[in-house]
């Protein structure tokens, strides 16, 4: 039976990066697909009932933060000190309101705190201890110990990276040390767009390193034309203002969403030595999901009612 059309669209990602088919067991792949589908469903329920794109992207990202299989919330990577520092951002297209947090350690769902920054403070971004103090004033924000984010798989990644570091002193290459982010973009039935992104950052990161995920215009962007969430090598997404560049190519260059997203992700970022992916949706419900890495965890519900989950190119 042909899918029925609907007045909304939703796209999610669970990160782009080193995702090799032969390193992902059938059970792991099945679990990842189940969790991606659950996040899609969390956003879909809101959109199908006439809810806002902003509520939908927050709900989808919270679902991904709750899964230990992605580098955000419960599945966040470890920093060099064996702790977790989490980042997130959210943006509403029609108003260009935005909120972001970076380097938080006790916030169960950082995307919720990012929205609180947007809606309950005069600021756009808060970091570290200051963001935690702001969270103290927000009783609806759930707090956990830093150990709540621990997982055996991420500890093994840290141990492996630190062992490699000891055996190859002086090698400061970042390639392969990132394990993606999570994010969502949505178009609601009122024609409003929104985007959200959340991450645990980069394995073995030092010095309070922050990537693109909490930076408006780099890892997250939403305006009246499109919404974008990025994933990949954050330093290059920052240097190229990736999320905003996609939107700008549409606004000023007349590019379609797909052309704009593919030009930035598949050409511009690799030209500078980086890689990664992005998800995007425009005002007409068109969807783009380009990536230059081995894989990108992703899911979508299109305007025509079609729905899908994918990891690799096929």
Secondary structure, 3-state, the chain: CCCCCCCCEEEEEEEEECCCHHHCCHHHHHHHHHHHHHHHHHHHHHHHCCCCHHHHHHHHHHHHHHCCCCCCHHHCCCCCCCCCCEEEEEEECCCCCEEEEEEECCECCHHHHHHHHHHHCCCCEEEHHHHHHHHHCCCCCCECCHHHHCCHHHHHHHHHHHHHHHHCCCCCCCCCCECCCEEEEEECCCCCEEEEEEECCECCCCCCCCCCCCCECCCEEECCCEEEEEEECHHHHHHCCHHHHHHHHHHHHCCCHHHHHHHHHHHHHHHCCCCEEEEEEECCCCEECCECCCEEEEEEECCCCCEEEECCCC
Question: Catalytic: which of 95, 106, 181, 231?
Answer: 181
Annotation marks residue 231 as catalytic: no
**Residues labelled as active-site residues:** 181
């Amino acid at each position: 039976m042909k899918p029925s059309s609907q007045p909304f669209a939703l796209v999610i990602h669970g990160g782009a990066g080193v995702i090799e088919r032969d390193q992902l067991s059938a059970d792991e792949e099945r679990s990842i697909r189940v969790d991606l589908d659950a996040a899609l469903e969390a956003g879909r329920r809101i959109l199908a009932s006439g809810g806002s794109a902003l509520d939908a992207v927050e709900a989808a990202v919270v679902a991904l933060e709750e899964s230990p299989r992605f580098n955000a919330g419960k599945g966040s990577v470890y920093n060099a000190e064996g702790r977790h520092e989490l980042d997130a951002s959210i943006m509403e297209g029609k108003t260009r309101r935005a909120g972001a947090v970076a380097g938080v350690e006790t916030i169960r769902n950082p995307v919720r705190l990012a929205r609180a920054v947007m809606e309950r403070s005069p600021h756009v971004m808060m970091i570290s201890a200051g963001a935690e103090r702001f969270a103290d004033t927000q009783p609806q924000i759930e707090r956990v110990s830093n150990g709540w984010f621990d997982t055996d798989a991420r500890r093994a990644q840290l141990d492996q990276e630190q062992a490699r570091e000891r055996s190859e002193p002086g090698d400061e290459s970042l390639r392969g040390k990132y394990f993606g982010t999570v994010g969502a973009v949505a178009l609601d039935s009122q024609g409003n767009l929104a985007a959200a992104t959340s991450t645990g950052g980069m394995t073995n990161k030092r010095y309070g390193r922050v990537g693109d995920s909490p930076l408006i215009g780099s890892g997250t962007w939403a305006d009246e034309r499109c919404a974008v969430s990025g994933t990949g090598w954050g330093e290059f997404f920052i240097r190229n203002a990736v999320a905003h560049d996609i939107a700008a190519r549409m606004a000023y260059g007349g590019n379609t969403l797909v052309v704009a997203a593919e030009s930035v992700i598949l050409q511009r970022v690799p030209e500078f030595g980086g890689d990664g992916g992005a998800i995007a949706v425009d005002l007409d419900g068109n969807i783009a999901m380009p990536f230059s890495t081995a894989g990108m965890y992703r899911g979508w519900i299109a305007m025509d009612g079609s729905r899908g989950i994918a990891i690799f190119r096929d």
